[in-house]
A and B are shown apart, each in its own frame.
Chain A
Amino acid sequence: AQSVTQLGSHVSVSEGALVLLRCNYSSSVPPYLFWYVQYPNQGLQLLLKYTSAATLVKGINGFEAEFKKSETSFHLTKPSAHMSDAAEYFCAVSRMDSSYKLIFGSGTRLLVRP
């Protein structure tokens, strides 16, 4: 069965600093991997997705993630944090042979200090 682990329920960075949100997955078959962002009182929005093409995936708002099969990781990064990046971030996995179930990690709250 697939699963996703997000290390760190809270991450705090200064404005302008590097953002690194960690995600490790477990899947017996090649996965599709996603990062979603949730702003307060809103639904989740897709940031980026990995679908077995390039291992470095670029998303919206300057975020990117790198798929590393050897480490079963899909960490999310952004070179320079902005105050507007403060939100909850979710990593998610689905299987390449059944698209109907998306499994979410427990989320990481990103706090950006002025």
Chain B
Amino acid sequence: DTAVSQTPKYLVTQMGNDKSIKCEQNLGHDTMYWYKQDSKKFLKIMFSYNNKELIINETVPNRFSPKSPDKAHLNLHINSLELGDSAVYFCASSQELSAGGSSPLHFGNGTRLTVT
């Protein structure tokens, strides 16, 4: 059983296109995240949702729009793709948002986005 699953695994597209990445978790977690990993392996948080409510939006261009239809799903839609959007995008989930901070993140296997 895959705990956090993302689709697609690879995404190759041209500049200007619109694309979506889907994420689902079956861990019963309340909080989900999108992270971006660049070519130097640096990981940066993009968004966080808790019980379908947006908690974190880290200075991400408006072309990126997360959507959480329920707390088990967090999708990422990207409009007008640019070359600089090429990266690996990771979905993750954690058990709790409340004060504590000790809940580890469970990551999906990533979506490698290549914009040509």
Contacts and interface: CB of A to CB of B under 8 A. Distances in A.
Interface residues of B, number: 30
Interface of A is mostly: strand
Contacts of B104: 34, 46, 49
B55 A100 contact: yes
Nearest to B107: A43
Interface in A87-105: 88, 90, 94-102, 104
B110 A106 contact: no
Contact of A107 (B41, B100, B103, B105): B41
Contacts of B31: 100
B53 to A, nearest CB: 11
B40 A43 contact: no
Interface of A: 32, 34, 36, 38, 41-46, 49, 51, 88, 90, 94-102, 104, 106-107, 109
